[in-house]
C-alpha cells in the first residue's frame, strides 16, 4: 500500500502518487483486490529519488539518472559528468546567495532602526 511506502520512506503520499503519474516511480503490481504491493526495489528507488531531490537535482535530472541505471548503461564517467554539471549550478546559486547576503547586510547596517520615516532599506529597493 502507498501509505506503507510513505511511512517507510518518509515521503508524502501525494508525492508518491505524483512520481507514479509522471513515470519516475513504476506502477507497482496489485493484489487480486487491487491493492498496490511495493517491495524493496520501490523503497530503494523512492529513497534514491528523494535523496537526489534533497541535493537539488531537478526531476529531469532525476529522470536522466534513472534512465542510466534502469538501462544498466551507466558509467562512472557519465554519472560524474552529470554530477559535476549540477555542481556548477549549485556553486552559481551559492555565489548569488552570497552576493544577496552582502547587499542585504550592507543595506540593513545603514538602517537606524528608529521610528523615523526615512529608511535606507526602502531607498535601496527603489533604485
Q: Percent of the chain scored above 70 by pLDDT?
A: 99
Q: What is the pTM of this model?
A: 0.78
What distance in Å separates the CA atoms of residue 40 and residue 55, rounded to the nearest whole number?
22
Q: What confidence tens digit (pLDDT) does each residue in 45-89 have?
A: 999 999 999 999 999 999 999 998 888 888 899 999 999 999 999
Determine the structural domain holding residue 61 and report its residue range.
Answer: 1-73
**Do residue 102 and residue 47 come from a single domain?**
no
**Do residue 69 and residue 79 come from a single domain?**
no
pLDDT at residue 127 tops 80: no
CB distance 10 to 49 below 8 Å? no
CB distance 22 to 59 below 8 Å? yes
User: Which CATH number do you get for residue 56?
Assistant: 1.10.1660.10
Half-sphere exposure of 124 (CA within 13 A, CB side): 13
Q: For residue 51, is it within any domain?
A: yes
**Do residue 17 and residue 61 come from a single domain?**
yes
Element (H or E) spanning 100, and its range? helix 76-110
Indicate the pLDDT class of residue 116, thresholds 50, 70 and 90. Answer: confident
**Do residue 45 and residue 106 come from a single domain?**
no
Which of the pair, 1 or 70, is modelled with greater confidence? Answer: 70
Name the phi and psi angles at 79, rounded to 5.
Answer: -65, -40
Name the phi and psi angles at 65, rounded to 5.
Answer: -65, -40
State mean pLDDT over 101-123: 83
Q: What confidence tens digit (pLDDT) does each residue in 18-53 have?
A: 999 999 999 888 999 988 899 999 999 999 999 999
Amino acid at each position: 500500500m502507498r501509505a506503507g511506502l510513505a511511512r517507510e520512506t518518509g515521503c508524502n503520499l501525494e508525492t508518491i502518487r505524483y512520481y507514479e503519474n509522471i513515470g519516475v516511480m513504476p506502477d507497482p503490481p496489485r493484489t487480486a483486490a487491487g491493492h498496490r504491493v511495493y517491495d524493496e526495489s520501490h523503497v530503494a528507488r523512492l529513497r534514491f529519488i528523494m535523496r537526489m531531490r534533497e541535493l537539488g537535482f531537478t526531476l529531469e535530472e532525476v529522470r536522466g539518472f534513472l534512465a542510466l541505471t534502469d538501462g544498466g548503461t551507466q558509467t562512472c564517467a557519465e554519472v560524474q559528468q552529470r554530477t559535476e554539471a549540477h555542481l556548477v549550478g549549485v556553486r552559481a546559486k551559492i555565489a548569488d546567495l552570497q552576493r544577496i547576503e552582502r547587499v542585504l547586510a550592507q543595506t540593513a547596517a545603514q538602517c537606524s532602526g528608529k521610528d523615523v520615516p526615512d529608511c535606507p532599506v526602502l531607498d535601496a529597493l527603489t533604485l
